[in-house]
Structure 1
Amino acid sequence: MGSPIPIANLYYLLCYAWDRLDQGRLVDVSPLQSTELADLFALVLCDGIHHLARRGLEQSYDVREEELSGIRGRIDISHSLRRSLFFQGRAHCRFDELTVDTLANRILKSTLVALLEVKELDPKLRHRAYRTAQLLHGIRPFRLSQRDFERVRVTSNNLFYRFLLGVCKLVFESLLVDERTGETKFRDFTRDEAKMALLFQSFLFNFIARECSGWKVKSENIAWQATSATDPELRLLPRMQTDISAFRLGEYRIIDAKFYQRSVGSYFGSEKFHSDNLYQICSYLLNARRVGDVQASGVLVYPRVDRQIRQRYEIAGRTVSIYTIDLNAPWRAIDKELRELML
C-alpha cells in the first residue's frame, strides 16, 4: 500500500525535519512515479551512494595482523617466536591499512542489501540497488542493529553521509520480517499518527526557521502562573513545553503541530475541533508571560485531510487560530501556504 502523502512531498518533509535540505536536494526524486516508500528510499540511497563514490567514499585506517615474508608496521615478536617464523624468513606483523570498509559504508551497503529483500520494491529499482551494492566493493554487509546507528561517527565536513545514514536508520526502523513466510515488508510509517506528528512538528520548526524571514524559533518551557500551599514548587503539575515558539518584532506566536487522520473530531454526532488540542494551546497562552509588551497568540496546525480550515477565535482575551496545510498539493503550493501562515 502506497504512502497517503505524495512521495516527493514526503521527501521534502524528511529533509526539513532532519535539517538536511541542502543535502537532500542533491537527489532528484521528482521523476519517481511510485507511491511505495521502499522505492523512494532505494532511489535516494542509489543516487546518494553514486554521488559519494564520485567524490570518494569515506576511508579509515584499520589494524590488520598478517604473517609476511617482509616487515610491515610492528613485529609481534612473541607470536613470531612461538610459531618459529623467523627461521622461515617470515614475521607476524601488525600494521594500519587504509580501507573503505568503515561502519558508515557498511551501514549503507547493509541497508541496500536489506531493501533487496522487500517484496514491494520496483523491479527496475531492485536491479539498480543490486548494481549499486556491487559498486561498494570491499565493504562487508552485516545484520544491522540500533546500536550501530548510535556508534557511527561521521566528520562534520561530510554532511551528505549524515543525511544518507538518516535514510538508512528510517529504513531499518521500517523493515518488518514475516516470521511465518520469511518475507520482508516495509512498514508505512506515514500511517502512524505518533511518528508523523513528530515528523510534522520538526518539519514546521525547521521550515519557519529557514524560510520565514524575520522569525526566530525555539521550543520553550512555560511556567505555570499558579501557587499552592500543598505543592509549593508545583512539581505535580505537568510540564508545558511548546512545539514551536516563534518570535519577531512585535509578535509572539505559540504554534502546536498536530497530525490526525481527520481534521476534526466527532462529539455526539457533531463535528468539533479536537478538545485536548484546544485545552493545551489555551493553557500555554494563559500562562505564557509577555515578551516585552507583546502577548502570545496561539496557532494549531493540522495537515489537511478532508477540508481546508482557516478559523480564528478570541478565547479569554487570547487569539487562537486553527489552520490546515494540504500535504497532497504540489510542493510550491505547500511552500506558499506556509509562508502565508507566517505573515
Structure 2
Amino acid sequence: MDVHTRRLRHFMALAETLHFTRAAEKLYVSQQGLSRSITELEHDVGVPLFTRTTRAVELTDAGTAFLRAARQALAALDSGVEDARRAHSKMSGVLRIGFFAASALELTPLIISEFRAHHPSVSPRIESYDLTDPSCGLRSGETDVAFLRLPIDLTDLNTEVLFTEPLVVGMTTSHPLAAQSSVCLSDLQDQVISAPSTDDARWRAFWTLRDLGVDEDSLPRIGRETATMDEELDNVAAGLTLSVSVSSMNRFARRASLVYRMLEQVPGSELCIGWRGRPTPLVEAFVAVAQKVRNEHADLVARIESGDSD
C-alpha cells in the first residue's frame, strides 16, 4: 500500500475535529475534496476509518488504531525533513577543488557558480596543477575533488564523467600537416610529439598515443618532456614538436602561429569529476551540482563533444 501523505494529513485533521466543514477550513480545501480524499484513504487501507451520519462523524476502532500510526509516521517524516534542512543549512567549510588547464571548459564557471548559489556557507578553493600531477592534488591529499582527464593511475579513484572531447594535434601554421583538415595516426609516424613530465604511466601513455595497442614503429617519436601547458606550446611554436591535445585548445590556448587538426580514429579524452574513497557530504554536493549543470546544458556538452571550436 502506498498512501499519499496528503491523505494522512486530511485524515488527521478530520480525526481531530470530527467535523468535515471545520477540517476542510483548517486544511484550505473544499469539503467535497476532503470527503473524496478520506474515501480514497479508506479504500487504500481497506477498512472504514469513520462512521458518518447526518448528525455526527466518529472514528471507528480501526480509525483510532490508524490514527496512532498516522501520527507517528507523519511525525517521523516531518522530523526527517527538518533534519535534512538543518544538515543542508549547516553545510559549511572549505572545499578544495583541483583544477588543470581549462578543466571542464565552459562548464567550469557554471558549476562553480551553481555550487556557490546552493551552498553559500561553503568556500570553494581552486588549486591549480600542471602536467606533472594529472591527479590535480588527489594523490597527495591536497584536494578533496578535482576536474580530471582520464585515464589516471590512482587507487580508490571514483569519477563522474562530464563529457568526452576529441583529440587534436597542435602544430605550426607552416607545418606540412597544417594543410590537411584532419590527421590520422599514419600521418604522425615520422613526427615528434611532446610528452608530459609525469610519473603517471597511464596518463603519459594516453597523451603520447602509447595506449592504442599499435606497433611502436608506427607511432610518432617522443621528443621533449614538458611540465606545463605553456612550455608544451612554446615547443610546438618553435617547431620542435607536435602536441597531442584536445579540441578546446583552439578556444582556451589560441596562438596565432599554431593550428589544431582533428586526430581521426582515436578515442577522445574523458573529462570527469574525481575524488578518492568515500565522498564527504561536500564532495557529494559538488558532484551533484556538476551532474545537474551538465544535464541542464546538453547543447553545450554536445558542442564540446563534437569538437566545435566556435
Please confirm whether the aligned pair reaches a TM-score higher than 0.5, indicating the same fold: no
**TM-score normalised by L of structure 1:** 0.20
Q: Kindly indicate whether structure 1 or structure 2 has the higher relative contact order, using CA contacts under 8 Å at least 6 residues apart.
A: 2
Q: Flag the structure with larger Rg.
A: 2
**TM-score normalised by L of structure 2:** 0.22
